[in-house]
Amino acid sequence: MKFHRHYACATIVMAVCCLSVQAQDQPVPAAENPQPATGSAGEAAVVDAQAITDFAAALTLAAGVDDPNEPPEVVLDPNDPAAPEAAELAPKSVEDAMDMAAVIALVRQQQVQLAQQQDMLADQSRQLGHLREELDALRQPGMVAGDVQIGGNLDQDSQPITLTDQSAPAEPDDDAAPAGKAQGQQVALAPGEEQTQQELKDQTSDMVATAQADDPTAQILTDFPGAWRLPGTRAALAVGGYVKSTLVYNQDPLEITDRFIVGSIPVDSTIADTVEAQSSITASQSRLNFDLRDPTDVGILRAFIEGDFAGDSNTFRLRHAFGQWSRVLAGQTWSAFVDTKATAEEVDFEGLNGRINVRQSQVRFSPQIGEQYEFQFSLEDPNPQIQNGSGVTRTPDVVMSARVQPNERLHTKVALLGRQIRGQDVVNGLTGNGVEKQYGWGLSVSGRYTTPRIGERDSLLFQLNAGKGIGRYVNDLSSVGNYDGIFNQATGELKLFDVVSGYLSMQHWWSSTSRSNLTLGYVELDNPGFVEGDAYKRTIRASTNLFWTPTPRIDIGVEFLWGRRENENGEQGDASQLQMAARYRFR
């Protein structure tokens, strides 16, 4: 009997081991839902553990063990011829019954281990579910065949960037349209195609207006097309800019040949007669920018950097580099004194002579009241530019501006500038010890008004500027240089230049893809009485152009420019220039 009991114990142990191995080798299906489902590996482990327990209990009862602490009672049949031998093999002490207790303890230990394995499998299933969600989010920004990648909204509570095709026009019917043209019939647009033409027209207008303003700070933070989600983060990155190639043909000599700086027109007739006019072909005006936005619990954080290749010898030059959170901005970008929404569209890289045009480091706060009113308050880098001396940067320039836009047709901006201009004079080529300071001011009024009576998308742009010591903010004076103030070398006194500038521009659309701009700019200085006769007095600049935009991302333009510079002594010099350019925007 003892031999049979040991044999039963060995059988139970072997059965437990087989069932344990079968439970551990059970494959785990990849579940979409991280919660354990019916028929999962975790439940299979529980069922197997329960089966082991039931099987062990059944074998225990079959072996005649009711209580592991009590020896089993052996009942012998007197009529059985093997009874004497069985009586000799019957257990005589508690130690013989302990073999079954050890087997039961082993079974229970296996059940605990299987329960632990069930918890581990459930955790792995949840982790696989999270990884699958991240992979789906990374695969979501796809490419539409034949179209460009389009982005969607970046909201602080959204995990992936939802992509919707908002810009690519519908593909034309490759069969019907050519057949109609071949037969000389008029091909009518289907309703869907007509809507696509209107969307294409609106998109062209929007992209032209955005390129004309050239203001990355005005972009809506939640609208982020063309962005890529950075793996493992909620942030997204977009790469933008354009490639531009320009041919410049100068009919008269200019100091800088790849743009039209009116202040650099030679006035001396001997220079104009002896210096040969030069032309240039350049791609240095091409731009590249990186835009990073990260939705957080406190709002969308943004970092933007942009540069072109217009530095010396076509080197990379920084244009914008700023961080932005809600209505707060810090870094280098357009001054708050600039009105980017009233910028005339031109081929010339230099731009209008009378325009307020400066990018500099600043800290800006821009509260907005509804959709009609926006205010800007900024502290900006002064960087004074002084003749016969050197500027001293100490007190930041203060700019306050207000924008009023009661509807889409009307836009008006008023800006005030206050600055302290400090400088050290130069005597016999040496910088003096004394520091002079003067206080300057500036006022700018600008706007953009659409003129539907002339054309549906036509507009009139203007700007009028006046101030003392604001030469660095006026485009032409900044390009020529050092027109904030001037030291009187006889007395060492610092005097500021009085400046008046402005422009007027008219934009007319000939069709849904072609347009022209007629622009006139003006700058005048009120020089101190001690300046020399060849000093800058005033400049006039006129231009007209024609742009064609076959697709929203491509601009082809040609422009004719004329300018005149007049000196303090009344001498004048004229120059003209022809420019042609092609630009491709890749975002």
pLDDT digits (tens, 9 = 90+) for 476-534: 999 999 999 999 988 889 999 999 999 999 999 999 999 999 999 999 999 999 999 99
Rounded to 10 degrees, what is the CA torsion of 502, 506, 507, 511? Answer: -170
Predicted pLDDT at 171 = 39
More confident residue, 170 or 106: 106
Predicted pLDDT at 132 = 76
Q: What is the percent of the chain where pLDDT is above 70? A: 70
Predicted pLDDT at 140 = 53
Per the structure block, which two tokens stand in for 462? 């203007």
Predicted pLDDT at 162 = 37
Taking CA 489 as the corner, what is the angle to CA 487 and CA 493, rounded to the nearest 5 degrees? 45
Which residue, among 467, 495, 286, 288, has the nearest Cα to 386 in the 3D structure?
495
The region of weakest confidence among 136-140, 208-212, 331-335, 394-398 is 136-140
Predicted pLDDT at 432 = 60
Specify the 3-state DSSP secondary structure of 156: coil
**97 and 71 in contact (C-beta within 8 Å)?**
yes
80 confidence band (pLDDT: 50, 70, 90): low
Rounded to 10 degrees, what is the CA torsion of 351, 354, 360, 364? Answer: -120
Most confident range (mean pLDDT) of 11-25, 205-219, 311-325 is 311-325
Task: Give the whole-angstrom CA distance, residue 194 versus residue 187.
Answer: 12
Computed from CA positions of residues 41, 47, 53, 56, in that sequence, does the dihedral angle turn out positive or negative?
negative
Computed from CA positions of residues 296, 297, 300, 304, in that sequence, does the dihedral angle turn out positive or negative?
negative
Amino acid at 391: G
Give one DSSP letter per residue of 561-583, joined into a string: EEEEEEETTS-EEEEEEEEEEEE
50 confidence band (pLDDT: 50, 70, 90): low
3-state helix, strand, coil in the chain (%, to 5): 25, 35, 35
Cα-to-chain-centroid distance, residue 43: 48
Specify the 3-state DSSP secondary structure of 160: coil
pLDDT at 150 over 90: no
Residue 454: count other Cβ atoms within 10 Å of its Cβ: 13
Per the structure block, which two tokens stand in for 488? 């009187």
Task: Report the relative pairing of strands 373-380 and 368-369 from DSSP bridges.
Answer: antiparallel
Per the structure block, which two tokens stand in for 313? 């010898």
Specify the 3-state DSSP secondary structure of 84: helix
**Looking at residue 474, what DSSP letter applies?**
B
322 confidence band (pLDDT: 50, 70, 90): very high
More confident residue, 86 or 385: 385
83 confidence band (pLDDT: 50, 70, 90): low
Taking CA 337 as the corner, what is the angle to CA 523 and CA 577, rounded to the nearest 5 degrees? 40
Predicted pLDDT at 168 = 36
pLDDT digits (tens, 9 = 90+) for 163-203: 333 333 333 333 333 333 333 333 343 444 444 767 777 77
Predicted pLDDT at 79 = 60
pLDDT at 32 over 60: no
Predicted pLDDT at 14 = 54
Backbone angles phi, psi at 82, to 5 degrees: -95, 10
Amino acid at 587: R
The region of weakest confidence among 71-85, 286-300, 565-579 is 71-85
Q: Residue 246: which residues within 8 A CB-CB, separation 6 or more?
A: 258, 281, 282, 283, 285, 347, 349, 579, 580, 581
Taking CA 567 as the corner, what is the angle to CA 561 and CA 573, rounded to the nearest 5 degrees? 40
pTM: 0.68
| Mean pLDDT, rounded, for 375-403 | 95
Task: Give the whole-angstrom CA distance, residue 471 versus residue 396.
Answer: 16
The region of weakest confidence among 214-218, 397-401, 480-484 is 214-218
The region of weakest confidence among 59-68, 327-336, 376-385 is 59-68
pLDDT digits (tens, 9 = 90+) for 131-149: 777 666 655 543 333 333 3
Q: How far apart are the first and last CA of the chain?
A: 89
Predicted pLDDT at 11 = 52
- Helices (DSSP H) in 78-226: which residue ranges? 83-89, 94-139, 176-182, 191-213
Amino acid at 300: I
**317 and 307 in contact (C-beta within 8 Å)?**
yes
More confident residue, 4 or 580: 580
Predicted pLDDT at 277 = 86
Predicted pLDDT at 137 = 61
Q: Residue 490: which residues within 8 A CB-CB, separation 6 or more?
A: 530
| Mean pLDDT, rounded, for 351-366 | 96
Task: Give the whole-angstrom CA distance, residue 515 versus residue 439.
Answer: 43
Backbone angles phi, psi at 67, to 5 degrees: -130, 125
| Mean pLDDT, rounded, for 406-426 | 93
Taking CA 248 as the corner, what is the angle to CA 244 and CA 253, rounded to the nearest 5 degrees? 145
Task: Give the whole-angstrom CA distance, residue 296 versus residue 171.
Answer: 39
Predicted pLDDT at 164 = 34
Per the structure block, which two tokens stand in for 275? 């210096």
- How far is residue 49 from each of residues 14, 16, 17, measured CA to CA in Å? 15, 9, 11
**15 and 55 in contact (C-beta within 8 Å)?**
yes
Q: Please, what is the average pLDDT of the chain?
A: 78
